């Protein structure tokens, strides 16, 4: 996966019709680029529309925003890794701050999901992050590294499987506040060191993304930070024009 890795998380926005319109507009202005990797995470019901748009674009990968850890079963409303793969997904978001703090997802559940994603042959994008209280009490790094260790704890092939990590300071998501380059570099350095402990030198090629109020104005500066390998973009990915600017950063 070529770095930088720049990911668009549409959250609960862009149904199939608007997804097709978005992709048509964006792809008309974004020629193939193999010096980076773009990821797009649409809502589940828009997966097919985006997949159709990307049939000839191997430089852009499709992802899903969430999966269940079971391979199949009586889990109304959930998606399995197999269903996601069959729909064209190659990457799965795990442990996004909204899943943790709005829906109560635990780090142990993220571990079960990462293991299921590994079994299913897809790539997990594991999100870790700290709240304002944890930051103010000096507990931010411990919290982030604990989420990282637990989330990866059930994967059995860490040394040979591709993973992506995203640091998203919860206090900077949707607030207009953004971590400084120094904030991001410090936490990314700690994450890289922990990955080295977990699975050795291959960790050096693991993309570590920054997510938190990323927009077309700050994307280039964040990517210029040495330890930042890419971006996880929310609101700024919903408009084809602003997403185009970020994707070109």
To the nearest 10°, report the CA torsion of 158, 163, 168, 174: -150
What lies within 8 Å, CB to CB, of 106 at 6+ separation is: 100
Residue 105 annotated as catalytic: no
Read off the DSSP letter of residue 77. Answer: T
Give the start-end residues of each E strand in the chain: 5-9, 37-41, 60-64, 91-94, 123-128, 164-167, 208-211, 230-233
Q: Which of 109, 118, 168, 194 is catalytic?
A: 168
Read off the DSSP letter of residue 30. Answer: -
Residue 168 annotated as catalytic: yes
Find, among 39, 31, 35, the residue nearest to 56 by Cα. 31
Q: Which of 96, 98, 105, 194 is catalytic?
A: 96
What lies within 8 Å, CB to CB, of 173 at 6+ separation is: 97, 129, 211, 212, 213, 234
Residues annotated as catalytic (active site), given as ranges: 96, 168
């Amino acid at each position: 996966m070529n770095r930088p890795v720049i990911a668009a998380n549409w959250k609960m926005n862009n149904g199939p019709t608007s997804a097709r319109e978005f992709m048509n507009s964006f792809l008309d202005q974004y020629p193939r680029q193999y010096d980076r990797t773009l990821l797009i995470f649409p809502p589940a019901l828009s997966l097919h529309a985006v997949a159709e748009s990307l049939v000839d674009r191997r430089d852009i990968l499709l992802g899903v925003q969430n999966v269940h850890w079971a391979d199949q079963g009586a889990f109304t409303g959930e998606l399995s890794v197999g269903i996601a793969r069959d729909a064209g997904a190659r990457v799965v978001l795990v442990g996004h701050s909204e899943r943790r703090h709005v829906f109560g997802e635990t780090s142990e559940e993220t571990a079960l999901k990462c293991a299921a994603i590994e079994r299913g042959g897809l790539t997990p994008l594991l999100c870790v992050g700290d709240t304002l209280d944890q930051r103010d009490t000096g507990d931010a790094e411990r919290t982030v590294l604990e989420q990282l260790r637990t989330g990866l704890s059930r994967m059995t092939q860490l040394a040979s499987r591709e993973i992506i990590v995203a640091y998203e300071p919860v206090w900077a998501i949707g607030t207009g506040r953004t971590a400084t380059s120094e904030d991001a570099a410090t936490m990314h350095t700690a994450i890289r060191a922990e990955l080295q402990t977990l699975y050795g030198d291959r960790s050096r090629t693991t993309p570590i993304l920054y997510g938190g109020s990323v927009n077309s104005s700050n994307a280039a500066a964040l990517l210029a930070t040495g330890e930042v390998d890419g971006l996880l973009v929310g609101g700024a990915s919903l408009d084809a024009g602003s997403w185009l600017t970020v994707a070109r950063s």
